[in-house]
Structure 1
């Protein structure tokens, strides 16, 4: 199974992430304009590296989806906050026929998940749950689904709203969207989203735009 790892200046974390890839996962590091040597390091550590010059989390995710070749594809942050063994565990839900889209629900270690990010996530859980007709608590740093089905969803956002739009479109298409717990550790390096006020505001704006054109707000 391919695991897409969007990457923007994640050199401090890549050695840990790529040094512990479990059998059965093929990492695709999608470099989104790093200036810290991340793509060169990822290649040296044995990962496939593709480049996405258009800045944005969604742009990197979509480029990785296009580059993937496996039937089932996972998306995971490249900041060492998630153990990739948990990604394999989520994929089992698809193999067992229990879900069409699996989202990792964070069980966070102390200090791993800032309070303002938790609050924003809690607010997003309501439209996600209503759309999926199933209680969802977390937009999650991990998502797993079948590649061709994901491409067919036609997700438009290429910024921070990409995961939210994926869940909303999947639910609207009748997918069984489910979540399963994953351990969530403090990231290595500084977050480009929750690590700065500017990043947080940008993510809120991106997700608000997704909610608007998906018909959840006017």
Structure 2
């Protein structure tokens, strides 16, 4: 399948709602979460594409039985969510060429009733807007501190935004103009694509509207560490691609991760070992930073994980730099 989205067909302007919107859902081994996801979009959208990346739990058969079109992603090439979404959009446009808007969602999310109509109405009324998203909520925020942090992470301001997440309604015309997602990115693909959309004049907008329920299912320290490591990798790669002015994409986030998660602890260790043991007192910078974050967030546990997260983020930065140095392709960092 050709992944070059610059060849997408032009969209007619007089299509009706039933035929000008489609959905692309991606996933692997999501089980009942995928069932809930598909059930939430199939009544509202005529053509739903499910892109599967090697499931072994019967997801393909279930999706077909529910009425979705299934695309098995070729796993001979490195998997990325970006590549899966591009491939799903290609198939959607082949099956329904008049598609003007595409709802993307991950297989562990359920689209809230009424979202698709509200989002489409906004894009129709705002021809300069390429992407509209809404409120993504964690389905089970009380099951773990990690789930709660996800819920807080997604509680972002409404109005014009710099980027969206994996769940959003997008204008296919705009996607074609920037050639879709960057296939090679293993994380951070939406902010990177939104940056390119904004460069050519499109807007990204977040509505004060319930959009999706997400089941993060992060119940262990190891899962949290790997998810945060992936964020550090995304920061570093984003800064590598678009860190120059005026965008300075994720430069600040990368610097913070490297400072607190790598440079400062290494400097303290070396100073204490080779110059004066009293330099070990510099470790007090960490509880001082935790206190500052606590006063800002009003939640001591959130402050702890915000600070502790700089260590896996720094590991993610190093992982990206090592991959670049060795000229290898980055491999997906999974936490489920």
TM tier, smaller = 0.7 to 0.9
Q: 1:82 to 1:190 in 2, by over 3 A?
A: farther
TM-score (norm 1): 0.78
Indicate yes or no: 2:39 matched with 1:15. no
Q: In the TM superposition, what is the alpha-carbon distance from 1:12 to its structure 2 partner?
A: 1.6
Residue matched to 1:197: 225
CA RMSD between the two structures: 3.2
Q: CA deviation at 1:107?
A: 5.0
Is 2:23–2:102's contact at 8 Å kept on the other side of the alignment? yes
Deviation at 1:205, TM superposition (A): 0.8
Cα distance, 1:63 vs. partner? Answer: 1.2
Instruction: Name the structure 2 match of 1:61.
Output: 85
Structure number with higher relative contact order (C-alpha < 8 Å, ≥ 6 residues apart) = 1
- Which residue number corresponds to residue 293 of structure 2? none
Deviations for 1:59-101, whole angstroms, at most 9, x for unmatched residues?
2111112222212112112213432641332122111126222
Distance 1:109 1:80, change over 3 A: closer
On the 8 A contact 1:81/1:188 being kept in 2, the answer is: no
2:104 is equivalent to residue 75 of structure 1: yes
The 3 A distance-change label for structure 1 pair 203 and 38 is farther
Check 1:189–1:150 CA distance in 2 against 1; reply closer, same or farther (3 A cut).
same
SS of the residue corresponding to residue 230 of structure 2 reads: helix
Tell me what 1:168 maps to: 195
User: CA offsets, 1:10-58, max 9 Å, x none?
Assistant: 1222222223323334211011121212111111111001122242211
- How many residue pairs get aligned? The number is 208
1:209 to 237, 243, 247: 237
Q: Which runs of 5+ in 2 are unaligned?
A: 1-20, 94-98, 255-336
User: What is the match of residue 131 of structure 2?
Assistant: 101
Partners in 1 of 2:201 and 2:216 — Cα distance?
A: 37
Where in structure 1 are there 5+ consecutive unaligned residues? none
1:172 Cα deviation after fit: 1.2
